[in-house]
Amino acid sequence: MSDPPALAQPLPWGPLALPVGDAEEVAIWTLLESVCDPEIPVLSLREIGVLRAVNATPPVWQLWITPTYNGCPAMSQMKEDLLAAMQQAGKQAEVLTGLAPAWSSDWITASGKEKLRAYGIAPPHALAQQAGTQRIRLAPKMDSARIACPQCHSLDTTETSPFGSTACKAMYKCLACAEPFDYFKPY
């Protein structure tokens, strides 16, 4: 069971590029680059936008994470991995969960999107800012023609299922090379 979320302050918004903060904080961020998403082991928690802040509260470091989806079962694993990395470096740390602002796939860094593609997962399209306020009125078909196959880069692809192996992915197939692939949903 994960700890209940805390809401001390709104977390930073948007993708986080290194370096962040002062020299001491940068050292922590750099250290934590080795902690990857358990489901997508090529992406650090910073790159996917889950690790939002590191705060020095001597002698303890506060690490703030936010869930991608409310039910994401990987959260407790991420927390353990972060604590293990800190412990290995001889640092005391606690991991806190924030909910606001809500995570968006727009927070995946540019390098993170490239790594996703190389790993075989089509990265999400940028989400229009108004998506958060616009009500969906009729079921719009996803514009699947614009999702490039991560294998052969063809745009001739189609959605096979809006839900996939994890909450954050949909299933696609490429009509050119016939390979199925995961698409990280814009969210």
- Report the residue from 164, 172, 181, 182 that binds other proteins according to the rule CB under 8 A: 164
**Residue at 44: amino acid letter:** S
Q: Does 137 bind other proteins (CB under 8 A)?
A: yes
Which one, 8 or 89, has the nearer CB to other proteins?
A: 8
Cα separation of the two ends of the chain: 25
Which one, 29 or 97, has the nearer CB to other proteins?
A: 97
In the block, residue with structure tokens 């001491």: 24
> 147: Cβ–Cβ under 8 A, 6 or more apart, which residues?
122, 125, 155, 157, 159, 172, 183
Q: Does 73 bind other proteins (CB under 8 A)?
A: yes
Which one, 76 or 111, has the nearer CB to other proteins?
A: 76
In the block, residue with structure tokens 């616009």: 134
Total residues belonging to the chain: 187
- Report the residue from 23, 140, 143, 146 that binds other proteins according to the rule CB under 8 A: 140
- Report the residue from 34, 89, 163, 178 that binds other proteins according to the rule CB under 8 A: 163
* Integer CA distances (angstroms), 136 to 46, 83, 131, 141, in order: 30, 40, 9, 11
How many chain residues interact with other proteins (CB under 8 A)? 32
- Report the residue from 83, 101, 179, 180 that binds other proteins according to the rule CB under 8 A: 101
Of 12, 42, 16, residue with least CA distance to 110? 16
- CA 153 from centroid of its chain's CA atoms: 23
Of 1-9, 37-45, 48-56, 117-125: span binding other proteins (CB under 8 A): 1-9
Residues in touch with other proteins (CB under 8 A):
1, 4-5, 7, 67, 69-73, 99-103, 132, 135-140, 160-165, 167, 171, 185, 187
